[in-house]
Chains A and B, each alone.
Chain A
Amino acid sequence: MAATFFGEVVKAPCRAGTEDEEEEDEGRRETPEDRDVRQQLARKREVRLLRRQTKTSLEVSLLEKYSCSKFIIAIGNNAVAFLSSFVMNSGVWEEVGCAKLWNEWCRTTDTIHLSSTEAFCVFYHLKSNPSVFLCQCSCYVAEDQQYQWLEKVFGSCPRKNMQITILTCRHVTDYKTSESTGSLPSPFLKALKTQNFKDPACCPLLEQPNIVHDLPAAVLSYCQVWKIPAILYLCYTDVMKLDLITVEAFKPILSTRSLKGLVKNIPQSTELLKKLMTTNEIQSNIYT
């Protein structure tokens, strides 16, 4: 414990472990009630993969059911908007499933009925080439749910002959650099790839001591462990909500092998993006 200048008491971090051993002993004795509550909570937080039309769960993991050569995952609303306007607009994509999950960050309390506008994590494959998959994930997947998500999607023994591309955004203030954040050319793109990914990235690699967080980190770690070639394109931006300039910062990826052949009409896609922006504007009077 340490006292600050203002008289508040702050707990100093201690590597020796907790000082109160009595609390630990009490914690070990779990009543049946506690067990029930814990099980209920675990069921509520379970990640379920199902087919939306039939509302039936998928019996095996997504990539065990279908063979996959290319998998593009968009996490966050800007990445999702980019894939919606540039990739999904250029081909016929069929929905193969969606991941339903609940955690404290979800805005909806109804975990049973999922409307088409609320689907959190939707998976598609290209009709003309069913081994190309796409995932649009616009919800937050909590730490305890990330492994479940990976298992339900990739399975316990994933194939190595597929290529994974992940797109996501992060606020520029999370970017650690010796320059001041005011001088950074945000939005800007950084890449991080697994050892087995041999192609060049279309932007500089993420430097130390920067780290990747949440679901993108979980997917990348999973791919590194299972020796799957994967690359993450991380866009650092100062506007986390849906923003045209942030989405356009992903454009260099269109020329990479990951998205080659999947994007056809770029001017039309830009128009679609602009429409998406205007329909999604949220009203707030705090900032003008």
Chain B
Amino acid sequence: MASRYDRAITVFSPDGHLFQVEYAQEAVKKGSTAVGIRGANIVVLGVEKKSVAKLQDERTVRKICALDDHVCMAFAGLTADARVVINRARVECQSHKLTVEDPVTVEYITRFIATLKQKYTQSNGRRPFGISALIVGFDDDGIPRLYQTDPSGTYHAWKANAIGRSAKTVREFLEKNYTEDAIASDNEAIKLAIKALLEVVQSGGKNIELAVIRRNQALKMFSAKEVELHVTEIEKEKEEAEKKKSKKSV
């Protein structure tokens, strides 16, 4: 009987569902995976790069976007919806800086994006935004933050999370492997993000894009070579761990 209650966004079904919002969450699953990790002194965003058509300019297919110097986000879902949300968020960041003379806190801009998304779940004639976002950054107090928003307009702080296709698999990996040791150093946090993505990325390191923000530093996008270096390191560690296991069993 879902068909009677999913035509207009403003209609609840008898059992309390807003079907358009739930369908929007399905649209998010069609986007490639993005993972966010909050380390002790670093925040990492890793995404599965979509393969670009031969004649397409790779720079224009970006899943990780800076909202301000100290905040950036990765999204999964409808590309056009993401562009609209990102533009609004960027304008809001600058407007806030001009009005209050302080850069936005990560929580503020996340709340702004979440409120925007919620408005579209309660307006007649509009559909929700079909994107989930992972927003990372450092506040003035030097504390690293990671937030996740979804099409319903909710937002929560996370230590580590994943969105998009196979997000559940990645989240389960993170639940098992996110330990205080694993995020002790910046390098370890970066490796954890790559390892989480390698669980679901279909063609290995060359399809992974990574961005980090360190305390008091600007956003850094990793080049393909740098990602490859980390992937090779991870593969070496895996081999060594397997050798040790086989030695022990012998």
Contact assessment for B51 and A281 in the assembled complex, using a CB-CB cutoff below 8 Å: yes
Known: A6-B8, A277-B203. A173 touches B26 (CB 8 A): yes
Residues of B209-247 whose CB lies within 8 A of A: none
**In the bound complex, do residue A287 and residue B27 qualify as a contact, i.e. CB atoms below 8 Å apart?**
yes
Q: Are B8 and A287 in contact (CB under 8 A)?
A: no
User: Does B187 sit within 8 A of A, measured CB to CB?
Assistant: no
A244 at the interface (CB under 8 A from B): yes
Report yes or no: B202 in contact with A274, Cβ–Cβ below 8 A.
yes
Contact count band on A: 20 to 34
B50 interfacial by beta-carbon distance below 8 Å: yes
Q: Are A182 and B25 in contact (CB under 8 A)?
A: yes
Please give the distance in Å from B20's CB to the nearest CB on chain A. 14
Give chain B residues whose Cβ lies under 8 Å from the Cβ of A286.
78-80
Is there an interface contact between B203 and A274, defined as CB atoms closer than 8 Å? Answer: yes
Min C-beta distance of A12 to chain B, whole Å: 11
In the bound complex, how far is the Cα of B185 from the Cα of A131, in angstroms? 60
| B241 to A: closest C-beta gap in Å | 18
Minimum C-beta distance from B21 to chain A (A): 12
With A278-B203, A283-B53 already in contact, the answer to whether A288 and B82 are too (CB < 8 A) is yes
- Interface presence of A238 (CB below 8 A): yes
Q: How far is the CB of B73 from chain A (nearest CB, A)?
A: 13
User: B45-86 vs A: 1/0 string, CB under 8 Å?
Assistant: 000001101000000010100000000000111111010000
Chain B's closest residue to A281 (CB) is B51
A278 contacts B77, C-beta separation under 8 Å: no
Asked if residues B50 and A244 are in contact (CB atoms below 8 Å), the reply is: no
Q: Which partner residue on chain A sits nearest B165 by CB separation?
A: A239
Known interface pairs A245-B166, A274-B202, A278-B203. Does A288 touch B26 (Cβ–Cβ under 8 Å)? no
A interface, over-half SS: loop
Are A238 and B8 in contact, with the CB atoms below 8 A? no
Q: How far is the CA of A138 from the CA of B248 in the complex (A)?
A: 47
- A245:B203 contact, CB within 8 angstroms: no
Min CB gap A13→B, angstroms? 12
Q: Given A6-B8, A238-B26, A245-B200: A288 and B169 within 8 A (CB)?
A: no
Taking the closest CB of chain B, its distance from the CB of A121, in whole angstroms, is: 27
Residue A108, interface by CB 8 Å: no
Q: Is the CB of A287 within 8 A of B77?
A: yes
Measured in the bound complex, the distance between the Cα atoms of B78 and A244 in whole Å is 22
Q: Does chain A have a CB within 8 A of B137?
A: no
- Known: A186-B168, A238-B26, A245-B166. Contact between A288 and B200, CB under 8 A? no
Q: What residues of B have a CB within 8 angstroms of the CB of A243 in the complex?
A: 165
Proximity bits, A166-200, B CB within 8 Å = 1, else 0: 00000001000000001001100000000000000
> Which A residues are closer than 8 A to B by beta carbons?
5-6, 173, 182, 185-186, 238-239, 243-245, 274, 277-278, 281, 283, 285-288
Question: Can you name 25 A-B pairs with beta carbons within 8 Å?
Answer: A173-B26, A185-B168, A186-B168, A238-B165, A239-B30, A244-B202, A245-B166, A245-B169, A245-B200, A274-B202, A277-B202, A278-B51, A278-B202, A281-B51, A283-B51, A283-B53, A286-B78, A286-B80, A287-B31, A287-B77, A288-B32, A288-B61, A288-B76, A288-B78, A288-B79
